[in-house]
Chains A and B, each alone.
Chain A
Amino acid sequence: MTDLAHIRNFSIVAHIDHGKSTLADRLIQLCGGLTQREMKEQVLDSMDIERERGITIKAQTVRLSYQAADGETYQLNLIDTPGHVDFAYEVNRSLAACEGSLLVVDASQGVEAQTLANVYQAIEVNHEIVPVLNKIDLPAAEPERVKEQIEDVIGLDASDAVEISAKSGLGIDKVLEAIVRRLPPPRGDREAPLKAMLVDSWYDPYLGVVVLVRVVDGVMKKGQKIKMMQAGASYTVDQVGIFRPKKENVKELSAGEIGFFTASIKEVADTAVGDTVTDEKRPCEKPLPGFKPAQPVVFCGLFPIDSSQFEDLREAIGKLRLNDASFHYEMETSAALGFGFRCGFLGLLHLEIVRERIEREFNIELITTAPSVIYHVYLTNGDMVEMHNPADMPDPVKIDRIEEPWIRATILVPDEYLGAVLKLCEDRRGIQQDLTYAGARAMVVYRLPLNEVVFDFYDRLKSITRGYASFDYQIENYEANDLVKMSILVNEEPVDALATVVHRARAESRGRAMCEKLKDLIPRHLFKIPVQAAIGGRVIARETIAAMRKDVTAKCYGGDVSRKRKLLEKQKEGKKKMRQFGRVEIPQEAFIAALKMDDN
């Protein structure tokens, strides 16, 4: 055991590519966690995500032993934080397990939107924050300007910022000294009943569920009977350990320390992040405040292209859910697409990741329907229903009002792209809240309806700013708006998977854009196909896909029969990849592509 005064628990807050991982690697190396040779091995190991799942996670929480300039040895616990907005929730719980943070900023790039969001979270949990300027050796580095920016934009004193180059190793020792001298030690009582915060958990095929904890009070040991206070379940601890970053079993974890335990827990879903772990026989009086569970904010339908793969999809989703409790699903049937699942995600990236994993790891080709947010539909009888599928829209005569979620979006953008960004936000019903400058970059804050962002906002933002803008958001509140369900009819038949909820004022332009898109996405058929957008019974936009005029092979003689038949087989095969809506075949990509809005 280490006395509290010799423990420091910290996180690293940084924007993607600002050097967080490189810095973490350097810290591990300097504290002797791994030899030079092992450093390489570790990088290699982490490639094989599935087999080395443990390593990947271990690399994200690591215990370092550091002998400081004062001659004392300190236990440093680093909890890594994911950078993306979708996983802001995970950032939050990682930060809650520490007393301080390193704020890493690229000295040539300056503060980015994600940095901001994460650093504000760190401030909220009362972290001591040490600014670190990375990439100081780059010719484009402007440490003084970036320090100023940190003070202006974030309001942190940056005069003592540590200047480093994680790549070359310059200044890493100063970072370690700053951790020891400037971050506070944890507080806690080793003698009190066990009280530990459940920070994270993941499934390991050999160990079962591995639980990461921060012990607040008391001690956790092998063989101890523990209780999850919120979940109410009891377990016996099998193993207690730490990551250095290699997994290492220890006798105990005591107050102030971070480590893992296993206890024959079967599913990640049995471990609620933020739950308090205590001793069954001698429980602590009050649980920790805990977290709200991560709430899905984006919903969409996932359907197998080949409807016979529904059971495979059910299995795939079940398996993914084992390790990702933040993703929700329930069965859904669509008139157009058959059986599938309505799934809830933390954000669009999360959606993309899950979709890609199903397609790649389980070899199931999917149709993804239009992403939707959760609408609060207030009925005339006073009831409120949560709706996240346009197909579930109640009869309009029974609806009193519909509320939709709004976000507060922060965008940092180089001056020359500001105009385009403002236009994009205005086009998406945004309301400007703030516009300030930090050097040659503008920081824009907008309130935006999430349903305007959920689809392709981030893609558009990246494309109009050539990738130079950074973006982050938080959900703010629900507000009533004039929202309507827009149906899409292909060859006179409604395609439920293409239905969306839109603001009435935007319906016509969106409907027109969708019809135009579908006109290009649906190949010509043997007959002409009307494509219409409608609100209720009223058609608001219409396009026609002309019938195919000619495709017949010009020359077909005795030697061409086999070749032609192969083409016919291909055509038949291709038909299987299309979904038949009445007599119209709609290609898979049309469902998502139809919703992408071009500018103008």
Chain B
Amino acid sequence: MPALPLDDSARAASSPAETEGGFGVYIHWPFCLSKCPYCDFNSHVMRDVPEDAYVDAIIRELTYFRELSGPRTLTSLFFGGGTPSLMTPQAVTRLIDAVAGLWHVPQGTEISMEANPTSVETAYLKGYKSGGVNRISLGVQALSDDDLRFLGRLHSVGEALQAVKLARDVFERVSFDLIYARPAQTPAAWRRELEEAISYAADHLSLYQLTIEPGTAFEKLFKAGSLLPPSADDAATLYEVTQEVCAKAGFGAYEVSNHAKPGAECRHNLVYWRYGDYAGAGPGAHGRLSVEGKKIATETERLPSRWQAEVMRAGHGLTRMEEIAPAEQGDEMMMMGLRLSEGVPLARYEKLSGRIIEEKRLLLLEKDGLITRRGGQLYATARGRMVLDKLLGELLV
């Protein structure tokens, strides 16, 4: 059972270690109109969601996290899911107000929301905006109706483009997602689709390689042999096309799958990648919080009804709250940080983990062209970032 949070007076305000990487709040809205076959996120198809009751529970859990985190200044607030755009503007506004009452939220703090093209209505968008949302991320996923059907999406290309247009009319900051490396997708076809997508883009794009995740409908098809994603080598080629097309259009990759014009990076996700602190509220949300110089991992109950009942009973739906050992903090920070083009400060790794990476190891990987160092900062090269999972194994063993 998670321990009781300590009273604020028991500790000082944010120490420098706590502010490194910033502080984000994530709110998970787990409900969807339908389940997409590739998605392994905690999502549940449910009609007539008792919205007020869930919003009440989230606020209650946020209050608990506030007790844990102490007073802090917010870097960003993010509504993810599921499909958070199924929430009414009233609900979103209540949540934003609640967060602002719990932590210090400076003017201009990024408040992002994921939205599906099907659920975007001008009225809702305007309502979100007046409630405080200032960035929208749309799940467009593909610019081909056939592929949208294959991906289990409920919208058409026409609806998606309409949604992008609407969003751009209302918000300054708009991003959308695409999934590539779809079965039989050629580099030439992907290049055309991506170039077209960029012509509709504002300042940010998330471009994900299709991954067969355990427990998904796609995994079943894959195992049955009726879904054939591109080979690892073909996927690598598609990734390279992505980098090239985006770079040409001024959408540099600031992370493995994220591209933005300078200054338009998603600040919330940067909190994760910079291994900052974040509170995760709602069913199945994860968090990382610095409490009294310790880094705490949190995780909540995934099943919405059970989570809600638990929050009402105990004030939170936590199923896990444990300290992360120094070596593991170092690993986590590297895992996340090397995804970024800005790299990671080696000194921070050493401080967190209490370890150093042998010079010999670094030199070899440098020689292989997988990493570089400049002024105490460690970077994965473009090639290194492509093989980051294995590279991390070499670096952190």
Contact = CB atoms under 8 A, between A and B. Distances in A.
A552 B339 CA distance: 9
A558 B286 contact: yes
B175 to A, nearest CB: 14
B7 interface: no
Contacts of A559: 41, 280, 284-286
Interface residues of B, number: 48
A556 B332 contact: no
Contact of B389 (A555, A567, A572): A567
A548 B387 contact: yes
A431 interface: no
Given A565-B331, A568-B396, A549 B269 contact: no
Nearest to B256: A552
A549 B396 CA distance: 20
Closest 7 CB pairs of A and B: A549-B236, A550-B236, A552-B388, A571-B393, A559-B286, A554-B209, A550-B386
B368 interface: yes
Contacts of B394: 526
A246 B284 CA distance: 64
A305 to B, nearest CB: 17
A526 B368 contact: yes
A551 B389 contact: yes
23 contacts: A525-B390, A526-B365, A526-B368, A526-B387, A526-B391, A550-B386, A551-B232, A551-B387, A551-B389, A553-B389, A554-B209, A555-B211, A556-B256, A558-B278, A558-B280, A559-B285, A559-B286, A561-B297, A561-B336, A562-B286, A562-B299, A571-B389, A575-B397
A525 to B, nearest CB: 8
Interface of A: 525-527, 548-559, 561-562, 564-565, 567-568, 571-572, 575, 583
A524 B211 CA distance: 20
Nearest to A561: B332
Residue among A525, A551, A558, A568 with max Cβ neighbours from chain B (10 Å): A558
Contacts of A564: 335
Residue among B236, B299, B393 with max Cβ neighbours from chain A (10 Å): B393
A552 B387 contact: yes
B370 interface: yes
Contact of A558 (B272, B393, B396): B272
B387 A550 contact: yes
Interface string B275-298: 000101000111110000000010
Given A551-B388, A561-B272, 6 more contacts: A552-B339, A552-B386, A553-B256, A553-B388, A557-B269, A571-B392
B39 to A, nearest CB: 10
Interface of B: 24, 26, 41, 208-211, 232-233, 235-236, 239, 256-257, 269, 271-272, 278, 280, 284-288, 297, 299, 328, 331-332, 335-336, 339, 364-365, 368, 370, 385-394, 396-397
Contacts of A552: 256, 339, 385-389
Contacts of A550: 232, 235-236, 239, 386-387
A565 B211 contact: no
B304 to A, nearest CB: 16
Contacts of B285: 559
Name the prevailing secondary structure of the A interface residues.
loop
Contacts of B272: 556-558, 561
Nearest to A555: B208
A554 B211 contact: yes
Contacts of B208: 554-555
A479 B388 CA distance: 55
Contacts of B385: 552
B334 to A, nearest CB: 9
Given A561-B272, A575-B397, A549 B386 contact: yes
A575 B236 CA distance: 24
A562 B280 CA distance: 14
A561 B393 contact: no
Residue among B271, B285, B332, B387 with max Cβ neighbours from chain A (10 Å): B387
A557 B280 CA distance: 12
B328 A565 contact: yes
Nearest to A549: B236
Nearest to A575: B397
A583 B391 CA distance: 13
B390 A526 contact: yes
A203 B3 CA distance: 58
Contacts of A553: 211, 256, 388-389
B388 A568 contact: no
B382 to A, nearest CB: 11
B331 A568 contact: yes
Nearest to B42: A559
Contacts of B24: 558
Contacts of B368: 526-527
Nearest to A546: B233
Residue among B235, B370, B392 with max Cβ neighbours from chain A (10 Å): B392
Nearest to B276: A558
Nearest to A551: B389
Contacts of A549: 232-233, 236, 386-387
Residue among B24, B284, B286, B385 with max Cβ neighbours from chain A (10 Å): B286
Contact of A572 (B233, B336, B386, B393): B393
A575 B393 contact: yes
Contacts of A556: 256, 272, 335-336, 339
Contacts of B391: 526
B390 to A, nearest CB: 5
Contact of A554 (B232, B257, B278, B335): B257
A549 B230 CA distance: 14
B297 A548 contact: no
A527 B384 CA distance: 11
A526 B236 CA distance: 14
Contacts of A565: 328, 331-332, 335
B257 A568 contact: no
B211 A583 contact: no
Contacts of A562: 286, 297, 299
A12 to B, nearest CB: 50
Nearest to B394: A526
A138 B2 CA distance: 71
B286 A554 contact: no
A557 B297 CA distance: 14
A558 B235 CA distance: 25
Nearest to A523: B390
Contacts of B232: 549-551
Contacts of A567: 389
A166 to B, nearest CB: 47
Contacts of B257: 554-555
A306 to B, nearest CB: 15
B134 to A, nearest CB: 20
A225 to B, nearest CB: 64
Contacts of B210: 554
Nearest to B389: A551
A576 to B, nearest CB: 9
Nearest to B26: A558
A575 to B, nearest CB: 6
A567 to B, nearest CB: 7
A548 B236 CA distance: 10
A554 B256 contact: yes
